[in-house]
Structures are given as C-alpha cells and as structure tokens.
Chains A and B, each alone.
Chain A
Amino acid sequence: MTQQTTKAKKTTQEAPVVWMLCVLFLLIMGCSEAFDPFNRVTDLRILAIRAEPPDLLTNEQARIDALVVHSENPDVSFRWSWCPLSAGAARDHECLVSQEDMDRLLSSPGLTNAFPPLDLGIDPTAIFGWSVEPSTMRQLCEIAFATIIPDFVPPVSCAEKFPILLRLDVSDGNRTVSAVKQLPLLLNDSLERNANPEFGPVEMTDVDGNPITVQDDAFEVQRGRSVEVTVGIPQTAAELFLPPATGDRPNPSVRRETLVMTWFVTGGTTRFQRTGFIDGETPFADLRKNRWTPAFTGKDSETLYVVLQDERGGVSYMAIQAKEAQTP
C-alpha cells in the first residue's frame, strides 16, 4: 500500500509536560526548539511491514506488504530481503550470512530450495516461505548461534522459534529509507499461532462529542478544529496466549497480547503519538482513542494512518482522510 502526501511546514508544538519542564528547568537544562514529531509524515516513510500470516510453520508461505508514504514523486522502488542472522541495529542490521553462506549451508540433500534467496525481489509485495524439518532447523539454529552472538542480540532459544529479519529498502530517487521486521519461523507445530489484529469501523466526534460523518474513509473538519478519533478494534484483537517461560516467571499464565497503535499524520498534531493496551495495566479503551487537529497547511486534505501491532509481530494498518470543511 502506498500513499501520497505533501510536505507540511514544521511546527514547534510539544507535549504540555515538556513545555512545563522547559519553563521550570530552562535555566538548568537549556530546553530549546524541538524537531518535528515522530508521527508527522512529511517525506518518504515506511510506516509498517505486514506479513500474512505473522508467523510461519514449515512449508507455509507469508505474503509481505508495506505501508509506504511518499511525497510528490510516485516513482518509488522497492527492494525486499531477508536475513537469518543480522548484526543488530547499530550496524544497520548488516546480514552476517551471505548468499554464498546460505548456498553452502543448504547444499545438503533435502535442503536445496528450503529457503528463498536472501533477495526477495523488487515488487511492492514479497513472498517468503520455508520448508525445512523443524529438527533440522533447530540444528541450523544452534550452529548459527554457536558461531557468533552479535552485539546486544540476545541468545535465541532454538527450541521453539527462529526469528528471521525482513528488510525493505524504498527509494524515490532522492533518498532511500529502510525498515525491518522480524518474522518468527515456528519450530514446533503445537505452538499457538498469531493472527494480525483487525480493525472495525472508525468513529469521529468533535471535541463536544457531536458525531462527524465518516464516508469512504474520509470526513470533513474545519481548519484548527480537533476531532476525537475512535478506531473500532475488537477486544479479540488482543489474543489470549501463553507467554514463554522466563527466569522470573517460570510458570507464566495466559494473558492478552499487548497492543500498540501508532498514529501517523501528514499534517497537524495528535494528542498521543502512540496509544496502547497492556493487559492488567491500561484499559483497552485507551488504545482506540486519540485527538487529531489537522493543520491543512498549504493543502486541503490530510491523512491519518493508524498502524496497529501486537507483541508477537502481528500488524494491521488503515488510513482516514480529513478534508477541510468550509467555514459556514
């Protein structure tokens, strides 16, 4: 999915608490003008990568797509790749395994064509599938991690899952942006499967609670007015699952997934950049609500992109367009 936006003028609005702290500690900390907020999209950005399904058993395939937002130039190019063992974020997720390494590793009978090439192509969507016996995969996993544990990459348990890294590089001719996402390969078919969360209908009201009509994922609002956005998300989007045992919780109990929603906008400001649901900590309703004040700076429409993700790698996204309503 690709979307187009235009550049918006930068503003200096910050969260109220930051301003208050700036006032209080101005002399101490030297607060000054901040950057554009993370969720304001003014240039080429990759906002999400989604795999369907979000985890893979052997002999399964996932369809991978991305939410890419670009500026005026629609000629963006894609480059998909995957890596079984990367060097971590600080080193640009450099893949520690080359295609030659893979070819050598998979030259044994039965492993040929067990994985696709590390280069997954240049289409807007990519396909990844694997076909290795879980026991063999566990051995490969142990060999890999016995060789090297990159900086700050935690040791992986080879008993249940083997996470690979998906990478997308997008270029519009002027600049290239990159995004990564893990895709768990399940080594045990008895494991609970994950599903990408789903959206329901979106509700809009003005700040006084009066409903705003949403039609074809678009609505009208006057410049400078805020809207309360409530994204319809069923409670089942936070799936029940049994977290893996950890040192401090050797006998975990079933709980709901943590959900995080990121609210990207092409203009204006939002009350929160992200909202979330944490089972037992924050209410589900807090996940769904946010306030958006479109700016309509140099344009008559702006877009809100919401990206919903669960803690096991499930991702969904959607877009709503705000059009400037004429002042009555």
Chain B
Amino acid sequence: MIRVLHSAVFLMILFSVSQTRGESEAEEKNANLVLPRLLQEPEVAYPIRAFEENISASVIMEIDIDAEGLVESVVILVFAEPTGYGFDEAASDAAAQFVFSPALEDGVPIPVRITYRYEFVASVTDEIGNSATDILEREAESITASAASDDPGGVVNFAGILREKGTRLPVAGVNVTVFRGSGSLAIGYETTTDGRGRFSFVDLASGTWMILAEAAGFYPLRTRDDVTQGERTEVVYYIERGEYSPYDVLIEEETVRKEVSRITLDVAVVEKIPGTFGDILTVVQNLPGVAQTGAAAGNIVIRGSSAEDSLIFVEGVNVPIIYHFGGLRSVIPLGMLDSLDFYPGNFSASFGRATGGIVDVRLKKLRPQQVSGYVDVNLADAGAYLEVPLGPKSAIAAAFRRSYIDAIINAAVPESDTVNLLTAPRYYDYQVLTAFRPSQRHELTGFFFGSDDKLKVVVDNPADVSADLRATQGETSTSFYRTLLQYQYTPSLRFSNVLKVSAGRNRIYAGLGDQAYLDLNTYVAQIQDSATISLSENASVTLGLDYLMSKTDVSIKLPVLPKEGEIATQPNLDTTRFTDARGETYHSTGFFAEWTVRLLDRWTLVPGIRYDWFSRVDQSVLAPRFNTRLSLTNQWDIKGGVGVYHREPSFDETSPVFGNPNLGLEKAMHYSAGFEFIPLPYLTLDVTGFYKPMTDLVSRTTETILRDGALEPLNFVNGGEGRVYGLEILLRHDFANHFTGWLSYTLSRALRKDFEQTEWRRFDFDQTHILTTLGTWQLPANWTVGFRWRLVSGNPYTPRIGAVYSVDKARYEPVFDTPNSARLPLFHQLDVRLDKRWIYRTWMLTAYLDVQNIYNSPNVTGYAYNYDSSQKRPRQGLPLLPILGLKGEF
C-alpha cells in the first residue's frame, strides 16, 4: 500500500500580522489580532509521476488574503525540488481555492499576506491513509480535469510569463486580462497565471491589445502588445511588488524545542542591523550573554568564558579563524548562509570540546530556480555571489570577496622614515557550495571555503620602534581552507542520518624576522555522523560520532605572552623561548547519545551523554547533560538544564617549552533555568538565569620542575577556578507591523581565582550590565531604517601606578596596580542604518548608509599613557562613522 500525505504549515505572516510558532498559534487570539484560519481546502492532486516514483516535495507560497478571507493572489517563493513533476502547479492551484477566516485587527477584518508551505509527502509505509487505488483514481481524474481545462479549444497565439520585477521569480495566481475597444465595442478575455507564472490566450484577433495584470501587493501592470492571428506571440512581463521586504523569509520553529538557551538568527534579519555590516557573527555580539569586546577584538566572549572556551562552527565544522584581521569582517559572507544558531550554554551532547558557548552557522539550502547573485561594494571590500541551477537536482554557488584597504593605504600614505607597508592589510575569502539531491531521501552537499589575510611591513629603523627590535620586517599571514562533504539520508520519517566529512589546513605565520615568530601549519580532518531514530510518536534518540584529528608542524620563538587576567606588558623580545615540533598528531574522539522524550504533549525531556577522549592530554571523560522544557500554556514555557562540559588546554599551554605537557582538561558545569512568554504572536520574552562554576582552569605558576636533569619553569597548572552567574532577558519582536527587532539585557558577574591566590578577581570581560536594543522598520517605497543602541558596563582594566626606566631596553617599564582592579567608564553608542532599494526589471540595487556612533559618544576603550606613565588619556572607540555601500542583486 502507498500512503500519500500532504500537510500545510503557516510559516510567517507578513504585512500586518506575524506568527512563528506553527499552526496552533496561528489560531491564537489576542486583544488586537486574530490570524486567518484555513476553512476550506480543496482536494489536492498529487502529481502522478511523482506519486509513481515515490517523490516528496514542498512548495512555499506567498498568499494574499483579502478582508473576506478569499485568496487574491499566490506567488511561489520556493519551488518544489525536484522540478518537473508538477508540484508547483498543483500547490498554487490548490492555494488559489483556499478559503480562510478573515484576519481581524481589533475586530475589524483586514487583508493580510501569509507565507504557506505545502508539503507533498510520499511514503512507502502502509500503516494508514488512502488506498493506492483511491489515490490513483483521484489523480487520474484530476489530471483529466486539468487537461480538459487547459485545452482552450483553439490555437494559442498570445502567451507569456509574468515575473516579479527585480527578482525575476514567476508570479502565480494572477489575473491577466487582455482587452481592446470601448463602449459597446469593448472586448476582453481573462486568464490566471499558473504555478510558473505562465498565461496564454487563444485565437485573439490581430491587432493591438491592452494587457492588465493585477494582484494584491503588486502595482498593476498595464501594457499593450500586438498580436497576429496564426502567429504565436511570446512575452515576458515584469510586475512590481508594492514593497520588497527583506524579511520575506521563512522562520520555522522546530516542532519540539529542546534547548534551554538557543537563539536563531536569520540572515535577512542580520543584514539590516546597523553597525554590523551584515556580518552574521558580529550580530551575535548583540545577543544576551555575549560581552562587548570592541571592534577588533576578534573573539566572542560568552557568559564570562574566555574566547577560546567557545567554538564557532560552520555546519558543524570548526572554523579556526572567524574574522579577518581580528574583527574587521567575518570570513564567510552572508550570501552563503541561511541562519545561525547561538547557544550561550547548556548546549546539546552533540557539541563537545567547549566549556563556553556554541555558534553554529547554517549554510543556505541551495535550490535556485534561476541564475542569480549579487555584487556588494563597501568601504572595506567588494564581493560577488553567484548561484546557478544545474538541472532539476543539483546546483552550485560561488562567492569571492577581497578587501582593498591595502590599495587605499598604499595610495594615501607616503613612505615613512621608520615604517613602510610592503603589503598593506589585505584579505580575501572564497566559497563554493554545491548541492545534489537525487531524491527526497538522499541529499549531498559539498562546501569548500577558505580565507587569507596578509600584512607585511618593512622597518627601516627598528631601533626607533623599539630598542630591542632586531628585525627589519614584520609579517603576519593567516589562512585556512576547509572542504566539507555532507550526506543526509532520510529513508523514512522514522530514521535519518547525517554524515559529515571535512578536511582542511590552518596556516598561521606571524614574525619579526628571526627574532620572534610563530609558524603554525595544521592539517585537520573531522568525521561526524549522527543518526536520529524515532522510537515512538513522542520519543526519539540521536546517536553520534564526532572524531577530530590534527597534524601540526609548529615552530615558535616568542617571549612569554600574557594570558587572560595577566598584565599586558610589552613583550621582552630579548628573552624568547623556542620550540620546533614536526608532525605532531593528535586525536579527539567523541561519542554521544541524546534522547528526546515528550510527555503529555507539553513536557519535553532531553537527557544526553557524551564521551570524549583527548590524545594530547591522554584523558577521557563522560559528560552527562539534561535539558527540559514544559509548556504551561500556549503562551508560557518554563525550561531548565544542567550539564558537564570539558575543554582541552590550548596548544601552547601543553607545550613542554611554553606550557606544561602534564596538564589536564578544564571543566565547567552549566546550570540554567528560565521561562518564555509569548504575549503576542510576534512578541517573545525569554528570561534565563544561569550559574557556571569552572574548575581545573589552566593558571600560571611560578613553580619550577626538573625535566631531563634541567630546571625549567612549570609554567601552568590546572589550578584556576572560575565562577559566572547572571540573568539574561531577550524581548524579541518578529517581523510584524513593518517592524522587527529585539531588546537584550544581561546582568552578570564573571570571576576568576588564579592558582595559589585566595582572592577572586574580575574576569577580563566582566561586564555587569549589557543592554542592547535594535530594530528595523520597513517603510514605503522600499526604504528601510534601522537602529542599534548599546549600553554596557566598562571592562575591568589594570591601572598603571608608575614606571621605572630600563636602561637596557631604553624605555620605561610600567608598574601596575592589582590586575583588573579598576573599570572603564560606561559604554553607550547609537548606530543607524538607512537602506533604499530600487527595483529594475531584472535586478535590484540597494544603497545603504550605515552611521555608527551617530551622537559621537566618546567611549573609552582603554587608556593611553605617556612614556613614563605619568600622564594618561582615554583611548576612544569609533567616532561618528558614516559608511556608504551598494549592493546589486539579480
């Protein structure tokens, strides 16, 4: 027996209403708003060939519903994959016949636009459903009826396609009228565009005809064309949308939410946030639990954990460098991305090797219907993106971006007496994404990406820079590449498996000639496999393997560099240490299991356990984790979690020369509890309290150890402790009433106790209050305006209390107070962004003005001291900074 299902899910309602939590909430009422409810759904003809070949697909449409609940127009946003089976036509035909209850605002019926997913699910199971005979009969009838209606009984001599202006996407379900004459001689005919935007007329008399295409949400199209009997006239018309919302995107919530703390950001929301240049990783810094680390800090500090305690993934692949030049731009452009999942804590057992948080960037689901792309030009760089369909089952996309800061600097800065830029700062990155989906069951994705940063300076007079500098060249070069192959196998709704294999190389060089350098060359390979098995309607289990291998050639000659919490003195280049190791190979193997159990359709329990073995420290650990969420009502959820997390010390910390090879793992416990409240369909309040004790932290020691008969410094021990606690509040407004945005507030305290110390000290980025509010309004005529305002406690810092002149180094060496004993002033800044989009027939142009720090707040990022530390002045962050950019999309 064959079972055919179809399901429909509201995804997002645009214009005046919005909802994001599935169909049940779509029916939800509140004081202001009642969402439309599907009252009448016609029988849907499952495309016969797809049915025979057991192919499933989904079609995503945008449906305009008038104030009476009738469908005015249907536009297909995402076509079915694979193409050619008639899914699009079937879905749009069906949608055109939907009847809804009217949407109500304050009790008054209003027109709305919704996004609607129509799913065609073919299954070989024979448990329930219609008999194959019934369905086949129905399909046959449907096809016959369709064929009959398509047969005009004449010769088509005027046909065309109606496309959306700018995007070139076909528009379905639009009435197209041809007419001519006036008064009693007036004559006209009408038809409706199909799922591919096609329309046709038969046996039109020769001559000029007026054409009118009208659809809700679009400006009416009026034009004229000449038609000749006996000849077929083919046309393409472009109809302009009333507004091109950047938020015409899907925001799908999982049916079952499992995590205590997870925030998903969609790229369309990210792109317009002021001050971030559309950089998805920069936007993370506006979320609760994330410290403000400055414009070029190049790291993400989550819930009081050091940056290296958190991991950044791209589809599960660990990315070694996330920013060009430590914070200028992230290494992956927006075009390749779909969304980002941010876990500030209590993350799943599928993630390991981190004690802080997780950022997992999701790649775009590549299913283009046509060649499209964009070119983006701004102050720092220019980039291009192109995606191309390769037949009905595969597609490819490529992107490239290069900075031109080097060209600007080389042109603007004359040669100096002391320092010349041989290679001014330049970066580029590249990505190629491919997708192959031979059937609904199998999906293959390939992703190749990389990044390269370089800076080289020539120092004509090293002594003038520093008396202990012996090199005349300084160079930094950072590059990496990764190849990811992903195979997703979904034979049934009960089982799915995702296999990911990635390999790549990290190359880091930073050096001052032979005097001091870091030369690191690491080959990395990673294998991840996770299988999800549905045990029953309310229970499933995910089992997984997570293997990571690295092979490193390293040559380091550096002085001792300060760690977190240590005083950042100028490195002493005359006292370097050296190590050279070739082919050092390390393995890290993890296994995990996670169960998802849903009780009484309201209570979700997610116990999990993870086993990890780390060859570098030769230690294995078990990490149990547990998350739970209880839906009290449709508006209230309470949630909580507890878990154990481990992290390997960094490479330098286990180096026999720079560190201690006998170090063990660092450990953190994550406790969190909170609630979610949804007072309005588009408004979510998320409140989470957390407590994170950390033990076995790597901490510096002054002890020595006898190694191979020689007395050497022990450098580090697992003797540090940490304690972080706080409260996070996120009030999120999804796109509704032309507005989207959020307010995020974090109240926290992050402390550390170093080895052999009795007093707790402040963590480097201990920020008591972090308040961020941002929003974007979609205005008429394709204008968009956005703002971001931040108010953050100043970072701790260590004041200087004097200086002693070192004759040997020909410079003053500062004397410091107790580490992190003072705090910088409060930080506050307002950023504003204005976008204007112009729609042309086959492409769109967006100009944007992003003004950072619009009231020129003199934020103090630190203090600059004079040569003997007797005077200091604030070192200020960004002043008022307007940046203009252009983006062309086709």
Contact = CB atoms under 8 A, between A and B. Distances in A.
Interface in B764-815: 802, 804-808, 810-815
Interface string B687-703: 00000000000001011
Nearest to B412: A24
Most A CB within 10 A of own CB, among B419, B866, B867: B867
Given A27-B881, A35-B866, A151-B700, A89 B814 contact: yes
A248 B419 CA distance: 27
B804 A15 contact: no
Contacts of A313: 808
Nearest to A46: B805
Contact of A179 (B419, B580, B700, B807): B807
Given A30-B878, A149-B713, A180 B804 contact: yes
A199 interface: no
Given A17-B413, A178-B805, A275-B464, A281 B569 contact: no
A316 to B, nearest CB: 12
Interface stretch (A71-79, A90-98, A99-107, A114-122): A90-98
A146 to B, nearest CB: 6
Interface string B187-206: 00000000000000000000
Interface string B397-410: 00000000000110
Contacts of A181: 806-808
Contacts of A274: 461, 463-464, 467, 810
A32 B873 CA distance: 10
Contact of A262 (B467, B569, B576, B580): B467
A273 interface: yes
Interface string A26-67: 111010100111100000011111000000000000000000
Nearest to A291: B417
Contacts of A1: none
A91 B868 CA distance: 15
B514 interface: yes
B634 interface: no
B711 A155 contact: yes
B467 A24 contact: no
A276 B578 contact: no
Contacts of A309: 467, 807-808, 810
B414 interface: yes
A152 B416 contact: no
Contacts of B559: 152, 154
Nearest to A274: B463
Nearest to A259: B463
B467 A17 contact: no
B877 A281 contact: no
Chain A interface residue number, banded: 35 or more
Per DSSP, chain A at the interface is: mixed
Contact of A15 (B418, B578, B868): B418
Interface in B805-836: 805-808, 810-816
B572 interface: yes
Contacts of B417: 15-17, 271-272
B538 interface: no
Interface string B453-474: 0000000111110010011100
A294 to B, nearest CB: 19
A24 B816 contact: no
**In this complex, which of B467, B871, B878 has the most chain A Cβ atoms within 10 angstroms of its Cβ?**
B467
Interface string B295-333: 000000000000000000000000000000000000000
Contacts of A155: 704, 711-713
B650 interface: no
Given A36-B866, A275-B463, A281-B471, 5 more contacts: A20-B413, A32-B873, A35-B873, A89-B815, A262-B467
Interface of A: 15-17, 20-21, 23-24, 26-28, 30, 32, 35-38, 45-49, 89-93, 142, 145-146, 148-152, 154-155, 167, 177-182, 246-248, 258, 260-262, 271-276, 278, 281-282, 286, 307, 309, 311, 313, 315
